[in-house]
Amino acid sequence: MKKLILKTFFFFLFLIPVQVFAGVLGETAVFNIEATHDLQKRNQVSAEITLISGNAEFFVDQNYLLSLGSQRQSFENNLKALADEFDNNIYPKLTDFFGKEWSPGIDNNPRISMLLIEMVPLTGGYFRTQDEFPKTQAPESNERELIYLNTLNIEKNNAKSFLAHEFQHLISFNQLEKRLQKNDDVWANELRSEYVSTILNYDDPFATSILKQRLEDFKQNPADSLTEWKNELSDYGSVSLFSYYLADQYGAAILSDLLKSDSIGIEAIEAILKSKNISDTFSDIFINWSLANFFNNTLNNPAWGYKYPSLAGKFNIPATMSFNQYPLLVRLSLKDWQPELIKFEKGWPPTASNLKLEFERPDFDGLFEIAYLTFEENGAAVFNKFEMRGKNESIFVKDFGGKIKSVLVLPLSEKKKTKFSENEPVSNLTIKVDFAKSIQPIISEVFPNSGLFRGGVSVGVKGENFSPDMKIYLFSQKTKKYKLIKKFNFIDSREIKFKTPRWQAGVYDLVLATPGGEIVSQKSAFTYFKK
C-alpha cells in the first residue's frame, strides 16, 4: 500500500461572492491547479462535468478521460459510487458533526465542485482556501467551493477517506475562517480531518484503513513535533494518533468544539476543557499522550493508553534513546511539543547507587518542563514532573540499579501555543548523568514564619539543592510528631512553596528529606497561633 499525503493551502482574505451558475453534464471549465502535485507539472487543466450528484459536481481532466478508452465505464462506475458515498454518508455526517460548508458560497452554487486530475502518487488530494475568494483578491482563485482529488485513487477504497478529509477543510474554512475570522494552525486543522475516518466508520477493516497507514507513518518518526507542519508523512501520523487520543480522553465533541472556540489550536483545547471544569492543561495532555504511546495500557493510569478498539493495546512506541553506561552526556535539540522519550537503564553488573540527572539549558528561553518516571523491579511506575525555572536543575534517583531498574525522561519545550510554522526553532538541552551522592538541601529563609492554626497559609522556602521528589514535613516540638505536606509547588532548585495544613497552635520545625536519604531541618521555622 502506498503512503499518501494530503495538502492544504491557507490564505486569509476578504470575501466577496461572485455570480456563477450551476453546471450541466458535459460542461467544461479551465482550472488553476498546483503544479507541485500534478503528475505532469501543469498549473492549469481543462476539465469536464462527468457526473452531478445531490451535493456535488464532479469535473474530470479531459485529457485523462480521453486516455481511459475502454476503461471509461469502469471509471465512471467508481465515480458514481464515490458520489453516492458523499451524498449519503460523508456530507450528512460531517456537516452534522462539524457544521456546514459555505453554501451557496462564492459561486452561488449549492453543489460543491470536485476536480479529479492525475497527481503524483503520494498525493491523495488537497483544498485551497484561495478558491473561496474572487480573482480580484486572489488571481489564481477558481472561485468555487472546490476539492481536488487524485484520479490514481478512484478505484481504491480509500478514495472516500481522502474526499472526507478535504471536505472537513472546506467546512473549517466556513466555520472558523469565514465565520470567526480566524486562521487555524495547520496541525489543528489536519487533526480534525484525520478523525473523520472514525466518524464515517472507515477504520474497519483496520488492515486496509488510513488509520493503519497513519500508525505506520508515526512509528517511523515518533519524535516528530506535533505542531510543526512540514506536510510530511510523520506529521499526519502524529496528528492522527493525537486526534484519537483526544477523543478517547475527552469525547469526540472536543474536535467539533474547536470550530466554535474564540481561540485556536492549543489555546482552544485548553479553553474548551476549562469551560467543562476540566483542569488539564495542554502540557498534561501532551505528556500523557506521549506515555500512552509508550505504555498503551490503562491499568497503571487511565490516561496512559488508547481506548479506541483499533489502537488500544495494539502497539507500543519504545523510547527514542536508551542508555545503560554512565557517566553520560546527552545533547538534545528539541522543537516545541516534540515527544522525545529517553530511557536510562541499570547497567551490568548491576550496582545499587544514587543516579544524578542534571539538566542544563544554555539558551534559557521559554517554558520547559521535565516529566520523568522511575520504574521499580516489581513493575510499579512513579510519575513526577517539574518546570525548569533556571538554567540548571537536578534530580536524584535513589537505589538505581537496586529497587529502581530504569528512569524514563520526557523533556518538553513549550515556548509557543499558536502560530506554528513549517520550520520551528529548537531549544537546546543537555543531560549529565552519573552516579553520585545526593546533595543535602540548604534552607536559608522561610516566609512568612507564622499563621493561624486553621492552616491555608502560603509559605515560601528559599535555599539550595531543592528537588521535586523531596518530602516536606512539619515537626511539632511539643508532641514530637511529624505532619507530611502532601502537596508542594517546586519552583526551582532554590525555591519551593506550600500551604500549611490545619494543626494545633505551637512551634514547628521544617524538615526536608531527599530521595537519597539526606535530612535537613530548620528549627522553629513556623509558628501556629490560635488567633
Residue among 409, 287, 291 nearest 355 (CA): 409
Indicate if the pLDDT at residue 452 is higher than 50: yes
Residues 170-189 have a mean pLDDT of: 96
pLDDT score recorded for residue 531: 77
Identify the three-state secondary structure at position 9.
Answer: strand
- Topology of 321-435 in CATH? Jelly Rolls (2.60.120)
3-state DSSP assignment of residue 339: coil
Alpha helix positions (H), 128-225: 159-172, 186-199, 210-220
Q: What is the pLDDT of residue 364?
A: 72
Q: Give ranges for CATH 3.30.2010.30 in the chain.
A: 1-181
pLDDT of residue 464: 87
Please tell me the class of the 1-181 domain: alpha beta
Distance of CA 40 to the CA centre of its chain: 36
In this prediction, residue 439 carries a pLDDT of 72
Q: What is the pLDDT of residue 392?
A: 87
* 79 pLDDT above the threshold of 80: yes
Q: What is the pLDDT of residue 515?
A: 75
- Report pLDDT for 349: 61
CA atoms of 394 and 376, how far apart (whole Å): 20
For 317-343, b/e burial (b = at least 16 CB within 10 A) is bebeeebeebeeebebebbbbbbbbbb
Residue 516 pLDDT greater than 70, yes or no: no
The model's pLDDT over 297-332, given as tens digits with 9 standing for 90+, comes to 999 899 999 999 999 999 999 999 999 999 999 999
Query: 44 pLDDT exceeds 50?
Result: yes
Given a contact cutoff of 8 angstroms between Cβ atoms, the answer to whether 382 and 395 are in contact is: no
- Whole-number mean pLDDT of the chain? 92
Query: What 3-state class would DSSP assign to 526?
Result: strand
pLDDT tens-place string over residues 101-140: 999 999 999 999 999 999 999 899 999 999 999 999 999 9
Band the pLDDT of 10: cuts 50, 70, 90: very low
Q: pLDDT grade, residue 348 (50/70/90)?
A: low
- pLDDT over 90 percentage in the chain: 82
Contact at 8 Å (CB) between 458 and 488?
A: no
Sorted by sequence, the CB contacts under 8 Å of residue 306 that are 6+ apart come out as 244, 245, 248, 292, 296, 312, 313, 314
Q: What is the pLDDT of residue 517?
A: 73
pLDDT of 11 higher than 50: no
pLDDT (tens digit per residue) in 257-305: 999 999 999 999 999 999 999 999 999 999 999 999 999 999 989 999 9
Burial 465-474 (b: 16+ CB within 10 A, else e): bbbbbbebbb
User: Over 80: is that where the pLDDT of 8 sits?
Assistant: no
pLDDT of 15 higher than 60: no
- Does the structural domain 442-529 have CATH classification 3.30.70.260? no
Report the alpha-carbon distance of residue 216 to residue 202 in Å, rounded.
17
| Grid cell in block for residue 452 | 493561624
Do 12 and 190 contact (CB within 8 A), yes or no? no
Query: CA-CA distance, 168 to 266, in Å (whole number)?
Result: 19
In this prediction, residue 7 carries a pLDDT of 43
Q: 266-289: string of b/e by CB count within 10 Å (b at 16+)?
A: bebbbebbeeeeeeeebbbbbbbb
Residue 193: how many CA atoms within 13 Å on its side-chain side?
33
Q: Can you state the angle between helices 265-275 and 282-295, rounded to 10 degrees?
A: 100
CB proximity list for 263: less than 8 A, separation 6 or greater: 270, 271
User: Which residues of the chain does CATH 2.60.120.380 include?
Assistant: 321-435
